[in-house]
Amino acid sequence: MSKIDELLTKFQEIASDPKARMDSYIAQGKKVIGCFPYYVPEELVLAADMVPFGVWGTHGIINAAKEYF
């Protein structure tokens, strides 16, 4: 498997289950903060030794939202 294929596979894994990625950060003892993309200066979050974790809105009803927060 080429390096690009490895990277794309990893990206697909993270994109398909963001909660698992967030849980892995928390398991490592890192603090995770939910951020609205484009509106949060990620540099400040990183400087505070936290992981910026993008949250997205939708026009639909999100029944499982509490699982992620």
**How many separate domains does the chain show?**
1
pLDDT in tens, 11-68: 999 889 989 999 999 999 999 999 987 788 999 999 999 999 988 766 666 677 667 7
55: nearest Cα among 38, 35, 31: 35
What is the reported pLDDT for 47? 97
Distances in Å between the alpha carbon of 1 and those of 5, 13, 15, 16, 45? 6, 16, 20, 21, 35
Q: Which domain holds residue 16?
A: 3-68
Cα 20 vs. chain centroid, distance in angstroms? 9
